[in-house]
Structure 1
Amino acid sequence: MQPILPSVTWRTHSTLVLLALVYVFSFIDRNVIAIVLEPIKQEFGASDTLMGFLSGLAFAILYAGLSLPLSRLADRGGNRRNIIAVCCGLWSIATMACGMAQHFWQLMIARMTVAVGEAGGIAPSISMVSDLYPPHRRSLAISVLMIGPHLGLLAAMVAGGWIAQEYGWRSVFLFFGAPGILLALLLFCFTKDPGHGVYDKNTTLNNEKNKQESFFKQLKGIMKVKGFIWIAMGCALAGMAGYGYGIWVPTFMVRNYDMSLAHAGISFGLAGGIFAAIGTIFSGVFCDKLSKRDSRWQIGLPIIGILISLPMGVAFMLWPADAFWMVGEIKIPHAIVFAALFSFFNCWWPSLSYAAISHLMTSSQRATGAASLNLFLTLFGAGLGPLLTGTLSDVFGEIFAGEGLKYALVATMMLLLVSAWFYYKGLSPYQTRMKQLNNDEVESIDNSVPPTTVNDPLPST
């Protein structure tokens, strides 16, 4: 007897949209500091290295350390909606506190508190979305969720630059922190956790096994999953290049093109945010189609996107600063075309990698699996990417007068080549693991008791 699976309804889609909006503001609150690095640096007299530490490693250490236990709580049957809502409220309040800081150490503490809240955001969200939709629709659903960073980039750069210029950098944090409190309330009041593994055939067995395993035993098991380490290292290196780029490019545009904060924010936000959002949806739809023929496309498309994006990013950095169009009195650099193309292709790897991990894991591993991937991406990417770029900027600044940041960004971007190699090494193990899981599911169905009928796609929790 075949199980009656839950149907996808308007409630499913509305929950996905609300989770995506939460992730939009998560990314804004995490990265809006990029548009105000220069005025913060000038007010507190900090170096590029110290600003790289504030924007990167200070956030990443706490974020990475807390994301695993919070995700473990989600995997052990904790209400994922409640976890996300509480964490969203916390990071939003902490973001507003950044705008109230009067000393650098106060800003550092507030920034680290943002990390504490955001640690319980993305991994439980990915786990929850994976249970909202069946496997053959999962890449697109997670891609919709992963639009968040790109829409967040657009809002943070465009609105953040204008707010900082007109009202000062503190107003940026206050303006973007407040909406997250409302979103937390909406999520708590109007959505439900769909339940763990509602589309999986061996959910009961996996959940019982998960409850019996210690946290470290489960984590060790996740690290041994075929293909996981290769994908995680690919994300780590791509994240170092991506976060270094995302945090420092607005400052690069201010210095290289002599732009105002508002002008740099609008230019980078429109080129990066819009084209990245389009690229994310495109890659999700394309991957769902190709993966039906060969599961390796789940890893192959990130490789293609990374290799195409690399020369686009380098061209953006090295294109002559005096080449631009004039639209009225607004100067638009020719290089912005390459920034748009970089954004379109480089956004393929994050959403497809998280979707790949959701496929590799059982229902009782997904949140912890996503958090483990986040550990690599956060410590290496968000933690070391901005710090490495800032440090190289100080070093190259003594060699290339006034252009240290440009060459620091180019050097950091070369890490994409190493990232592509890691993804390539993961192709075969990923395919092997997918075949193993499919065989296990078939065996589980053959040996299981007929399942209980599921009527409500969003059961009460």
Structure 2
Amino acid sequence: MTDPETRPLTPPEQLPGMLYRSYFLFIMVLVSASVIGERYMMVVMVEPIRRELQLSDTAIAMVKDMAIAIIYILAIIPLARLADRWSKRKVVAISAVVWSVAVIMCGAAKNFWMLLIGRAGIGLGEGGFTSPSQAWIADLFPVSQRATALSIFLLGASLGNFLGPAIGGWAALEYGWRNALIFASIPGFILAPIVWFTLRDTRSGLADGAPVAPKIPVSFMQTARELMAIKTLPLLILAASLNALLTMGVVSWAPAFMERTHGMPANQAGLQLGSALFVGSVIGHTLGGPLADFLGRRDLRWYIWILTLSGAIATGVGWLILTGPANRVFPLFGLNLLVGGISAAPLMAVVAGLVPARSRSTAIAVLMVAIQVIGLGGGPVFVGWLSDMLRPTYGEESLGMAMRWVLLVGIPSTILSWMASRTCREDFATVGGWGGAAMKHAVAH
């Protein structure tokens, strides 16, 4: 009898055709745009919500950002493990329903607590979508196409970042903020059954040619030990998190910096910043995956070297932003997001390829938690705290000085990613996730 762990792939185990995989990727882009758009739509509704519900700025900050971030961080790892063990398709479809219901709850909110619960529900839905969707893409696209596929997927986030505030602002003006939020729930309700009924679950590791393995329950602690034993992974996660800290520490305070340093009104700075970041991120996400796949065919370390170069270049561009004239600031912010966008898809592709297929969603969840806590959460808070500490010495210039200091994290970020590149080929070979003859040839050289 053939051992089930070593038997070759049978015809039903073949990868689906490119037509289906293209359709799958298109749907994932739409789902991503839906959740990101619904998350960021509230940024243009702050004032009418604050006035009607009589909320303080602190309360608005809690419902707008903190509620989503906390629930996202708490939910993403358990939901990733559920997706690895059960069904990525079902977790993604249910998550779309969850965040759509949550958006309706926000639109119907009569007080702070109902609004807070609704925003937390959006974080829960986003936490259930992020890791399974990326792991699902890794299961469907082999290593030579994976970063390109993830680049296309990331365009959904860029689209959501742009359309959410743009359409939300128009709809809130025309129909009121409550109706605008209720309208925003419609795409998720349409996409959930499309995911459930038209997409198919894919066996973990199928695109890598991994053999069928029995599903043996593995505890979280055992999975965590397994992931942390991969030398490259902790280095890469920490490097990416520091990169995010640098980027968000500068971007999140950009309008205030322009107002204090260059005398530009915050609303004008916000509009120019949003346009620059959208263009930069779209170009970066579009170029990053194909570039990594092209260079990675010559040397797998390029997938990590791109992150190394990204950290170094972002540090230099950040210095030019903070020390140059006002007319250069926003083009340079666009360049900064372009550089960061180029490294995003290669980073995801490496994390998906470094770990056993059964743990992909969990590994991506750990990466996302680290980026959320250190980068998206820690960056803005650290800059604000440092600015307060420096205010007695520098006055209104303290914010710019604090933003300059945060650029220093680009140094350890660059060093850590370079260290990760020194061990990655051995780790790739061990897990066998970047498989076949091409992988063996790359490791041998």
Bucket of the pairwise TM-score, normalised by the shorter protein: 0.7 to 0.9
Bigger mean CA deviation after superposition, 108-117 or 32-41: 32-41
2:299 matched residue in structure 1: 294
Structural mapping, 1:23-42, within 5 Å: 23-34=32-43
Superposed CA offset, 1:153-181 (max 9, x none):
22245445556677776676455444223
- 1:84 corresponds to which of 85, 92, 104: 92
Can you give the 5+ residue segments of structure 1 that lack an aligned partner in the other structure? 324-333, 444-461
Distance 1:245 1:31 in 2: 19
Asked if the contact 2:104/2:182 (under 8 Å) is kept, the reply is yes
Superposed CA offset, 1:44-102 (max 9, x none):
3335xx766655554333212221121112212x2211110111221233234334445
Distance 1:98 1:157 in 2: 16
- Whose helix proportion is higher, 1 or 2? 2
Distance 1:275 1:80 in 2: 31
Asked if the contact 1:51/1:390 (under 8 Å) is kept, the reply is no
Percent identity over paired residues: 26
Superposed CA offset, 1:210-245 (max 9, x none):
524223212221121221101111122222233445
- 1:129 corresponds to which of 122, 137, 142: 137
Structure 1 length as normaliser, TM-score? 0.80
Structural mapping, 1:5-154, within 5 Å: 5-34=14-43, 44-46=55-57, 56-76=65-85, 78-154=86-162
2:310 matched residue in structure 1: 305
One-letter amino acid of the counterpart of residue 66, structure 1: A
Superposed CA offset, 1:350-370 (max 9, x none):
222111011112221211111
Bigger mean CA deviation after superposition, 420-429 or 93-102: 93-102
2:209 matched residue in structure 1: 201
One-letter amino acid of the counterpart of residue 74, structure 1: A
Please give the secondary structure, in 2, of the residue aligned with 1:203: coil
Asked if the contact 2:42/2:165 (under 8 Å) is kept, the reply is no
* TM-aligned CA distance change 1:335 to 1:439, over 3 Å: closer
Asked if the contact 1:237/1:381 (under 8 Å) is kept, the reply is yes
Distance 1:379 1:415 in 2: 15
Distance 2:39 2:205 in 1: 30
1:368 matched residue in structure 2: 362
Structural mapping, 1:22-421, within 5 Å: 22-34=31-43, 44-46=55-57, 56-76=65-85, 78-160=86-168, 173-174=181-182, 176-205=184-213, 208=214, 211-249=216-254, 258-259=264-265, 261=267, 263-264=268-269, 266-321=271-326, 323=327, 334-392=328-386, 406-421=400-415
Shift of residue 293, structure 1, vs aligned partner: 1.4
Structure 2 length as normaliser, TM-score? 0.82
Shift of residue 408, structure 1, vs aligned partner: 4.7
Distance 2:434 2:149 in 1: 24
Shift of residue 116, structure 1, vs aligned partner: 1.4
One-letter amino acid of the counterpart of residue 294, structure 2: K
Bigger mean CA deviation after superposition, 89-98 or 11-20: 89-98
Considering only aligned residues, what root-mean-square deviation do their CA atoms show, in Å? 3.4
Distance 1:425 1:319 in 2: 32
Asked if the contact 1:152/1:273 (under 8 Å) is kept, the reply is no
* TM-aligned CA distance change 1:2 to 1:123, over 3 Å: same
Distance 2:201 2:152 in 1: 18
Can you give the 5+ residue segments of structure 2 that lack an aligned partner in the other structure? 1-6, 438-445
Higher RCO (Cα < 8 Å, 6 or more apart): 1
Shift of residue 39, structure 1, vs aligned partner: 7.4
* TM-aligned CA distance change 1:69 to 1:179, over 3 Å: same
Q: How many residues align?
A: 425
Distance 2:172 2:263 in 1: 18
One-letter amino acid of the counterpart of residue 310, structure 1: T
Superposed CA offset, 1:311-344 (max 9, x none):
32343345444x4xxxxxxxxxx42211111111
Superposed CA offset, 1:238-288 (max 9, x none):
222334455444565677664474x55542332111221111121111110
